[in-house]
């Protein structure tokens, strides 16, 4: 069901915004807009199927705005281009992870030896506690 997202070119649907970074960087931080904010409108995407949009809305509900816009920011490097590449890479990772299907856990039958081992350990524990009890002479 899941088709690789990396084969699709989402660049036409990205909206980039550059701003000044915070943190270390000296005068460079005060002068250069290196922080990149990537915005992606999940609801109005032409490259995602309706089913994929619904899955993303559910799985990424905490990361989406009320208008179903995914916002990813990066300010790790002093290069605007590198930060832009990082946001695009993170976008693909987030979307791919949200569209992966979880494996369904198949419950297994507990083996007889495992049951016997548990009961034996239980019996030994009970015996140990029994020996700790004070004996009263009648």
Q: Is residue 116 part of a domain?
A: no
Give the tens place of pLDDT for each residue, 31-68: 888 899 999 999 888 888 899 899 999 998 888 889 99
Number of domains in the chain: 1
Q: Is residue 46 part of a domain?
A: yes
- Residue 86 sits in which domain range? 5-99
Q: Is residue 126 part of a domain?
A: no
pLDDT above 90: percentage of residues in the chain: 38
String of DSSP letters for the chain: -PPPGGGS--GGGEEEEEE---SS-THHHHH---EEEEEEESTT-SSS-HHHHHHHHHHTTTTB-TT-EEEEEE-SSS-HHHHHHHHHHHHHHHHHHHHSPPPPPPP-PPPHHHHHHHHHHHHHHHHHHHHHSPP---
Q: Is residue 112 part of a domain?
A: no
Does pLDDT of 130 surpass 80?
yes
Which pLDDT score is estimated for 138? Answer: 52
CATH number of the domain bearing residue 26? 3.30.160.20
Which pLDDT score is estimated for 11? Answer: 86
Q: Is residue 9 part of a domain?
A: yes
Q: Is the pTM of this model over 0.75?
A: no
Q: Is residue 13 part of a domain?
A: yes
Q: Is residue 134 part of a domain?
A: no
């Amino acid at each position: 069901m899941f088709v690789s997202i990396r084969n699709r070119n989402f660049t036409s649907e990205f909206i980039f915004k550059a701003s000044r970074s915070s943190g270390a960087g000296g005068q460079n931080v005060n002068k250069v807009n290196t922080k990149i904010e990537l915005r992606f409108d999940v609801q109005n995407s032409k490259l995602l199927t309706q089913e994929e949009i619904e899955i993303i809305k559910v799985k990424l509900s905490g990361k989406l705005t009320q208008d179903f816009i995914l916002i990813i920011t990066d300010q790790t490097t002093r290069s605007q281009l590198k930060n832009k590449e990082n946001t695009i890479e993170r976008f693909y990772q987030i979307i791919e992870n949200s569209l992966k299907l979880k494996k369904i856990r198949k419950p297994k039958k507990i083996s007889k030896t495992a049951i016997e081992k548990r009961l034996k350990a239980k019996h030994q524990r009970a015996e140990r506690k029994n020996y700790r009890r004070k004996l009263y002479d009648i």
